Amino acid sequence: MKKLFILFILGLTIYSCGTSRDRGFNEDEITATANDTVRIANDSLEYEIIIIEPGFNLFINSIARPEGYYSQTYLENKNRFLVQDYNARVRQPQRYNPNLYVQEINYDPNTDYGYEVNYLLYNYFVFFSREYNQRFTVPARI
């Protein structure tokens, strides 16, 4: 009887570890994917940032440092170097993955984009480097 019980538990364990054949997307998963687009626009300065990256919205809301943690000057200085390095990689598709570095970022360090744009751009670079295991050459202290 004891062996039968053990066999029954073992069989139940194996059965419960089986994969489900019906793996459709539910509405929550579709909504989560749709919410991975972040858009910031300012018509008076004629700029717009659109970040379409799965997981970025989750990163910005849970992992990234909160707004106000960095000063705007700090973010602007970091973004200046990060954008230069990123754009250099876009121009070298034979050396860097063109699927990662798709399009140049038009960032003018002389334009005041405001805190929110600099904050999201900087955190996009942090997310990008973590997600795709990329290292950018940015001075440690600016």
Residue 75 lies in a domain: yes
Residue 35's domain spans which residues? 22-131
Residue 58 lies in a domain: yes
Predicted confidence (pLDDT) per residue in 31-90, tens digit: 444 556 666 665 565 667 777 788 888 888 888 898 889 999 999 999 999 999 999 999
Q: How many domains does the chain have?
A: 1
Cα separation of 94 and 62, whole Å?
35
Rg (CA), the chain: 23
C-alpha dihedral, 79 to 96 to 37 to 109, nearest 10°:
20
With CA atoms as reference, report the closest residue to 77 among 140, 135, 142, 125: 142
Cα three-residue angle 25-29-35, rounded to 5 degrees = 140
Residue 126 lies in a domain: yes
Beta bridge partners of 47: 42
Predicted confidence (pLDDT) per residue in 118-141, tens digit: 999 999 999 989 999 888 876 655
Beta bridge partners of 48: 41
Entry pTM: 0.68
